[in-house]
Amino acid sequence: MLVEISALLFGLQLAWDSGYRKVEVDMDSLATIHLILGSLAANAHYSFLLVQIHGLLKWSWQVALSHCYREANRVADVLANLEVTTKDHYQLLQVPPAIVTGLLHEDVQGVAMSRLVQSG
């Protein structure tokens, strides 16, 4: 969960610094969203990062956090698996890697992905 929280903090700061004032964040980690929207007192393990995120969320802009399933967030999933991050920094990609261009086109076209769920 530390990776997701750190990535959100980096992404929010990047969005602000880039001049975006209306941001939508779709995350496939519902636990992370609950942690961010929950009480800081109950989350001492991540409190340093959560305090920074809460501070950013109070700035003069609109940020919406919402949950989506991994199947709906395939580009982020592929990028995460490419390990474009290291322990010390994030890599800012100016052009999407070729491996995700097909997924981006499908996203623009509204292609839906099935989600298999066990019953019972």
Distance CA 77, CA 68 (A): 12
Cβ burial, residue 105 (10 Å; 0-12/13-18/19+):
exposed
pLDDT at 86 over 60: no
Q: How confident is the model at residue 116 (pLDDT cuts 50, 70, 90)?
A: low
Identify the residue with better confidence: 62 or 117: 62
Alpha carbon distance 39, 10 (integer Å): 21
Q: What is the pTM (predicted TM-score) of this model? A: 0.79
90-109 per-position pLDDT tens digit: 778 889 889 999 989 988 88
Question: C-alpha angle with apex 68: 103 to 70, nearest 5 degrees?
Answer: 50
Between CA 77 and CA 52 the distance in angstroms is 25
- Give the model's pLDDT for residue 37: 87
Domains in the chain: boundaries: 2-109
